[in-house]
A and B are shown apart, each in its own frame.
Chain A
Amino acid sequence: MKEIKGFLDRNMRQYGMILALVTIMIFFGLVTKGKLIWPRNISMLIRQNAYVLILAIGMMLCILTGGNIDLSVGSLVALVSAMSGLMATTLGLPSWLAICLSMLTGLLAGMWQGFWIAVVKVPPFITTLAGMLVFRGLNNIILDGKTLPLSGLYTTIGTGSVPDIAPNTLPDFLRIGDLLKLQNKPDYLNVTMLIVGFVLSGLYLLYVLLNRKSKQARGYEVASLKSTIGKALLFFIIINICSYWLAMDEGLPILLILLAVLYAIYSFIASKTILGRHLYAMGGNIKAAELSGVNTKKMMFFVYSNMGLLAGIAAVVTAGRSMAASPNVGVNFELDAIGACFIGGASANGGVGTIWGAVVGAFIMGIMNNGMSIIGFDVFLQSLAKGMVVLLAVAFDMFSKSRSRLG
């Protein structure tokens, strides 16, 4: 019992977040009369808000170093979009090459900012404020105020799905969408999605069990078999429900694969590598970290370069989805990403926060974006509501922290 309580105490933040996510989902599910959770809308939700998630992952790393944010990412998305338009449309490069060069542009822009922050020691707030203006300016210079169309690999990444390997082969009883009257379109089930979901979650289940066994064999401590299996099984079920849900629409969005890969990579970096540990240590106490041999200069350069790279990826995704490079893309993207991180439990002082938190925060942002659009709130009301949620999320965090301190 005590063990469970200790575990809950340590992970309160994460469970609180998921609870918030589910609550908001149910709320919007109810007020949109179920429309929000239609398979169609769920895959829209993923596609439309992928940029928040990608940027929030990078932003989380910046915030971890000590509450530093990157104000320039929205403008950087605009700059990279413009570069995409320039290379793919004006210069006529093949779209795969244009995409690689676009991402390189993002990385270089990030390194540029990393240089000023890490080497010259200009505060990140100022550096990225300047970047915000500079990159937006460059976008307008490149595009000359015009919108350029994009196609090819761009649209595949932005809007495509993995093809159904065996369409219409599933027996009818598996199609419960009609029974539930989930959406106003004929029922369909994407086999690829179902298989991918089942195989991946199955592999995960297997990994958890094998990992536990090998740990045991090497004499490390392990959690009890019941809780390990329970958790893994729950995860297995949730993943399969989700994949079933998406299978009722077009199946597996290519974007979702990209997001999952990014999440896996960055979550691994943050929680398992020396680099990640150094980031947390630096945000927790920069002096102590430096005296323990953490190269804080390199860290700052890394997180801002990386933010540039991720902004580049977000730009490709955004441009692909709208099939165009336009002058006013990416406005306020930085605020969505920063908001997602703070909703997701990041500390404004640094050292606290997880990639998982950034993902959940991004989903909360996304659900609010789409939910309010479905209800028909105008942009201003949406902005007001998002602002209040960010404020209340952090206020709640502060409240629960001060309570635990007073005890």
Chain B
Amino acid sequence: MAEYMLEMRNITKEFPGVKALSDVTFKVKKGEIHALVGENGAGKSTLMNVLSGIHPYGSYSGTIVYKGEELRLKNIRDSEAAGIAIIHQELALSPYMTIAENIFLGNERAKHGIISWDETKTQAIRLMKMVGLEEKHSRQVKDLGVGKQQLVEIAKALSKNCELLILDEPTAALNDDDSDHLLALLETLNKKHNMTCILISHKLHELIRIAHNITILRDGRAIESLENTGQLIEGRIIKDMVGREITDRFPKRTPRIGEIGFEIKNWLVHDPLDEKRVVIDNVNMYFRKGEIVGLAGLMGAGRTELAMSVFGKAYGTKISGSLIKDGKRINPQNISQAIGHGIAYVTEDRKTAGLVHIMDIKSNITLANLRDVSRAAVVNEDEEMVVAKQYQKRLDIKAASVFQKAGNLSGGNQQKVVLSKWIFANPDVLILDEPTRGIDVGAKYEIYKIILKLAEAGKCLIIISSELPEILGITDRLYILNEGRVVGEMKTSEATQEDIMTTIIKSSSV
């Protein structure tokens, strides 16, 4: 009778003040790829944490039935012993260890506590072949790209004889090629080895490509489970996720573009770790006031490096070239000076570099521009409160109060705090690096609206994004970068995804 491999019945999980899951029932059949979707904060990760023992038995109510038996997990070890493996968004690899060592970390091939390196090596090579990782087993993980690190994680899960593999946003940080490879791998593992997968993702086209069934969560409740019938259900999923139909993913606007506000001329940047390597090669760009300019390119094209080198030399060494703002040459030597010249950079790395998680919303918002709420270097906390509340309202940051710690917010709200910080710094040039990465559909729309408002206010907006539809959806003009060079410039209204990809591929040196 065990039609389902896994049944999570009536799971309810509360955190202080928040009901993260309420009465969620989630069922997975043996041998299927089951997608779990929902906005940030919908409860996907909490549900998977319950399943993997991170939230132990007793801290939630409801039952988990796995392969016909009730599971009462005390910790992750228990779930691993049961054959459940979870791969988190943040990879848990040890950077200075080799691929083989990482695969068997915590599960060493050993007798009486002494590691058998021959066995480790042989098994590692076998597993690496299984996941299609073409590398030497003795390479250190820190030298691998994110895509390959992801494969190491999967190999690690396989080494534990896992039968149910949970992947939390596995492609969030991958480029299209790597994502493609990963999805193909999941399909292979599923077909050949009968691996059951639960896949959490924001990228609907991926789910539609490989999932058999899709369950949608919203606000801690399971809305419905659908059989994957192809493209047609995309609209329904989005509707389930946000509770309303989104007809336009991008807000409309009529751009009012002014004169040139910012220029980058003959910009040359070298790699700080290898001074001979050119990372940004003679880049020339201009940005007009009120214009939204996109920087398209594959990962490693140098977009982030370009942005950070412009932002007070936060990246790179032996930088030459000039920056011209409002017709005057500026030469910021550090980030503080760059901010002073009205340049702001919103990092792609929101989790680790965007916010001070242990500080409250208020202090995060004012951090880049404390001067404006201070007199003689003394912070006026009352003034600060006024500013914080104003931004909370203006950007619709959903939080109980501005005293809430930034780390406790959902991804979309965190990004709004980061944006508040930079809007409060009152820049003329605002560089947004992957502004909507890992943010759900509803919040994305709000972020776009904020971006458009800034453009309307006459600022130069520069958007770096790996999602081409996003670049095409909100920018007015775009530059295409490849291998540190500008290889194309087009008006967005005349560009297509195919044009951009073709330009990149044609310009590649190999």
A interface vs B, CB < 8 Å? 6, 10, 215, 218, 220-221, 272-278, 280-281, 284-285, 287-295, 351-352, 404, 406-407
A-B contact pairs, 6 of them (CB 8 A): A10-B403, A220-B383, A274-B377, A288-B355, A292-B421, A407-B15
B356 and A285 form a contact (CB under 8 A): yes
Task: Name the interface residues of B400-447: CB closer than 8 Å to any CB of A.
Answer: 401, 403, 421
A281 touches B363 (CB 8 A): yes
Interfacial chain A residues near B352, Cβ < 8 Å: 285, 287-288
A278 to B359, CA, bound (A): 11
Question: How many A-B Cβ pairs are below 8 Å?
Answer: 95
The residues of B with any CB-CB pair to A shorter than 8 Å are 14-16, 55, 59, 311-312, 314, 334-336, 338-339, 345, 347, 349, 352-359, 363, 366-368, 370-371, 374, 377-379, 381-383, 385-386, 401, 403, 421
Please judge, given known A-B contacts A221-B382, A272-B378, A406-B59, whether A285 and B335 are in contact too, CB under 8 Å.
no
* B363 contact set on A, CB distance < 8 A: 277, 280-281
User: 14 other contacts beyond A215-B382, A276-B379, A293-B368, with CB at 8 A cut-off?
Assistant: A273-B374, A274-B377, A274-B378, A275-B377, A277-B363, A280-B356, A280-B359, A285-B352, A288-B355, A291-B311, A292-B335, A295-B334, A404-B16, A407-B15
Distance of A27 Cα from B268 Cα, bound (Å): 68
In the bound complex, what is the Cα–Cα distance between A284 and B356 (angstroms)?
Answer: 5
Give the distance in Å from the alpha carbon of A272 to the alpha carbon of B354 in the complex. Answer: 23
B370 adjacent to A274 (CB under 8 Å): yes
What's the least CB distance linking B388 to chain A, in Å? 11
What residues on B are CB-neighbors of A281 within 8 Å? Answer: 356, 359, 363, 367
Q: Closest residue to B346 on the A side, CB-wise?
A: A291
Cα distance, A284 to B352, chains bound together (Å): 11
Q: How far is the CA of A276 from the CA of B374 in the complex (A)?
A: 12
Residues of A near B14 (CB, < 8 A) are 407
Q: Please, which residue of chain A has its CB at the minimum distance from the CB of B358?
A: A284
> Chain A residues with Cβ under 8 A from B336's Cβ?
293-295
Compute how far the CA of A237 lies from the CA of B93 in the bound complex, rounded to whole angstroms: 57
Judge whether B368 and A274 touch: CB under 8 Å.
Answer: no
In Å, the complex CA distance between A291 and B335 comes to 7
CA of A273 to CA of B383 in the docked complex: distance in angstroms? 13
A220 touches B356 (CB 8 A): no
Asked if residues A291 and B353 are in contact (CB atoms below 8 Å), the reply is yes
A221 to chain B, nearest CB (A): 6
**Are B379 and A274 in contact, with the CB atoms below 8 A?**
yes
Q: Which of B353, B374, B381, B383 contacts A288 (CB 8 A)?
A: B353
- In the complex, what residue of chain B is closest to A289 when comparing beta carbons? B356
Closest A residue to B349 using CB positions: A287
| Cβ distance A274 to chain B, nearest Cβ, rounded Å | 5
Residues of A within 8 A of B312 (CB): 293
A285, B355: Cβ atoms closer than 8 Å: yes
Bound together, the chains give a CA A292 to CA B352 distance in angstroms of 13
Please, which residues of chain A bring their CB within 8 A of the CB of B359?
280-281, 284, 351
What's the minimum C-beta distance from B107 to chain A, rounded to whole angstroms? 26
Determine the distance from Cα of A288 to Cα of B364 in the docked complex, in whole angstroms: 10
Which residue on A lies nearest to B314, using beta carbons?
A291
Which of A6, A276, A290 sits near B335, CB closer than 8 Å?
A290
Is B347 touching A220 in the complex (CB atoms < 8 A)? no
Q: Nearest Cβ in chain B — how far from A296, in angstroms? A: 10
CA–CA, A168 to B366, complex, Å? 55
Contacts of A6 in B (CB 8 A): 401, 403
Residue of A nearest to B384 (CB): A277
Inter-chain contact A274/B382, CB cutoff 8 Å: no
Distance A6 CA – B370 CA, assembled complex (angstroms): 26
Whether A407 and B16, one on each chain, are in contact in the complex, defined by CB atoms closer than 8 angstroms, is yes
- By the criterion CB–CB under 8 Å, are B356 and A288 in contact? yes
Contact A287 B382 (CB under 8 A): no
CA distance A285 to B406 in the complex (A): 12
